[in-house]
């Protein structure tokens, strides 16, 4: 009998393809992953995400164990009514990068001197604390304050649970019935003289070729394709393109008659137009009625997706007025707001819009 997979029992999937998309771009690393779901019975719809249950970076785990003066074999709490050796718990169960307020407070209480941190933990220094903590991780505090001693079980009691990360599905099961494609920006940056790694994006990039990728679909009921005859406008800069690659595959597979319009944005055409061949082919076949790209770092001035929208405002307005569905996906902090403003300027109309962003 097949095991029932769930959020608490994710499917141990197999990484089949793990390929860098933007070789040559020195500012960022984006990867295409194809993960086999064969035998899982798992399904998803375009618009959904895949939750990836990553494990932490082993060298960082070892460094923390050393800093604690532990062996890694000490038994510690590891989830509800469970215990595990410290090494395993730090790999699988706990978030070990971002320091929690409880952990910071314990450092102040136990370190022989941590006056700056003590000051910053006062309620009226919230903003300064945030600035100070940017790019600082748990390991930094352990190394900076060796006088703060923790027993292994005390230490894990100051951490929070390691959470899965969501990635938009970038393929349709109608076209790839046994797998899911993901498009992932790998988080790596340097701070305080150390290379830092995003947990899940580097797990997918570096640590899954010879170990399972635990996954489970996360449903996004509010981010769905409309009926086949409806027109759709998709705005997906960067990895925000992921759900729209799935949308296009799905619409083509079901023979949807509605028109499709894609706005894509990236830094450089040469390095970052990763699915350019697919999109240009769809455009040639007139399946994509319009394809507008904005490469922000190819010219002296920035060109963003909303500029392309503004250049095509009259046509955009006609589509919206005719009932087209509008989708935007990607950075919620700035891009989605700027796109929304451009849309409102173009249409002056209240239409049904969908966003999917962080």
Ligand X SMILES: NC(=O)c1ccc[n+]([C@@H]2O[C@H](COP(=O)([O-])OP(=O)(O)OC[C@H]3O[C@@H](n4cnc5c(N)ncnc54)[C@H](OP(=O)(O)O)[C@@H]3O)[C@@H](O)[C@H]2O)c1
Ligand Y SMILES: Cc1cc2nc3c(=O)[nH]c(=O)nc-3n(C[C@H](O)[C@H](O)[C@H](O)COP(=O)(O)OP(=O)(O)OC[C@H]3O[C@@H](n4cnc5c(N)ncnc54)[C@H](O)[C@@H]3O)c2cc1C
344 binds ligand X (CB under 6 A): no
Q: How far is the CB of 292 from ligand Y (least distance, A)?
A: 21
Cα–Cα distance list, 159 to 156, 300, 346 (Å): 5, 46, 48
358 binds ligand Y (CB under 6 A): yes
200 binds ligand Y (CB under 6 A): yes
Report what 199 binds from ligand Y, ligand X, none; CB cut-off 5-8 Å by kind: ligand Y
**Binds ligand Y by CB under 6 A, chosen from 239, 274, 347, 355:** 239
Contact letters (x/-) for ligand X, 227-246, by CB under 6 A?
Answer: ----------xxxx-x----
Residue nearest to ligand Y (CB): 198
Q: How far is the CB of 304 from ligand X (least distance, A)?
A: 4
Q: Which of these, 148, 120, 114, lies nearest to 134 by C-alpha position?
A: 120
Report what 135 binds from ligand X, ligand Y, none; CB cut-off 5-8 Å by kind: ligand Y
Report what 147 binds from ligand X, ligand Y, none; CB cut-off 5-8 Å by kind: none
182 in Cβ contact with 200 (< 8 Å)? no
304 binds ligand X (CB under 6 A): yes
Quote the DSSP letter at residue 39. T
- Sequence length of the chain is 358
274 binds ligand Y (CB under 6 A): no
* Cα 27–chain centre separation: 17
Report what 228 binds from ligand X, ligand Y, none; CB cut-off 5-8 Å by kind: none
DSSP reduced 3-state for 183? strand
Question: Secondary structure of the chain: what % helix, strand, coil (to 5)?
Answer: 35, 25, 40
Give per-residue burial for 259-276: e unless 16+ CB within 10 Å, then b. bbbbbbbbbeeebbbbbe
Q: How far is the CB of 81 from ligand X (least distance, A)?
A: 34
Helices 313-321/335-347 angle, 10° precision: 80
Footprint of ligand X (CB under 6 A)? 168, 185, 237-240, 242, 265-267, 296-297, 302, 304-306, 329-331, 334-335, 338, 356-358
């Amino acid at each position: 009998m097949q095991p029932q997979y769930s959020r608490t029992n994710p499917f141990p999937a197999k990484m089949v393809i793990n390929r860098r998309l933007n070789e040559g771009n020195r500012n960022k690393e984006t990867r295409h992953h194809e993960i086999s779901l064969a035998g899982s019975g798992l399904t998803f719809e375009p618009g959904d995400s895949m939750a990836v249950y990553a494990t932490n970076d082993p060298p960082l785990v070892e460094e923390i164990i050393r800093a604690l003066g532990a062996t890694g074999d000490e038994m510690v709490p590891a989830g509800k009514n469970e215990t595990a050796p410290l090494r395993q718990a730090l790999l699988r169960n706990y978030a070990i990068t971002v320091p929690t307020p409880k952990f910071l407070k314990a450092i102040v209480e136990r370190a022989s001197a941590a006056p700056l941190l003590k000051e910053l933990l006062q309620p009226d220094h919230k903003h300064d604390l945030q600035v100070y903590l940017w790019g600082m991780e748990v390991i930094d505090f352990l190394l900076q304050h060796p006088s703060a001693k923790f027993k292994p079980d005390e230490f894990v009691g100051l951490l929070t649970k390691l959470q899965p990360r969501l990635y938009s599905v970038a393929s349709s099961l109608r076209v790839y019935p046994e797998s899911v494609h993901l498009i992932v920006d790998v988080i790596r940056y340097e701070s305080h003289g150390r290379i830092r790694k995003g947990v899940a994006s580097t797990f997918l990039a570096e640590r899954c070729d010879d170990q399972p990728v635990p996954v489970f679909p996360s449903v996004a009921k509010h981010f769905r394709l409309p009926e086949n005859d409806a027109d759709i406008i998709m705005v997906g800069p960067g990895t925000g393109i992921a759900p729209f690659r799935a949308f296009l595959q799905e619409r083509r597979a079901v023979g949807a008659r509605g028109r499709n319009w894609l706005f894509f944005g990236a830094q450089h055409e040469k390095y970052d137009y990763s699915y350019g061949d697919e999109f240009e082919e769809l455009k040639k076949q007139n399946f994509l009625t319009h394809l507008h790209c904005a490469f922000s770092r190819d010219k002296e001035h920035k060109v963003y997706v909303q500029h392309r929208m503004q250049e095509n405002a009259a046509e955009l307005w006609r589509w919206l007025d005719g009932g087209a569905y509008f989708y935007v996906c990607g950075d919620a902090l700035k891009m989605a707001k700027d796109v929304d403003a451009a849309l409102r300027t173009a249409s002056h109309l209240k239409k049904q819009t969908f966003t999917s962003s962080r």
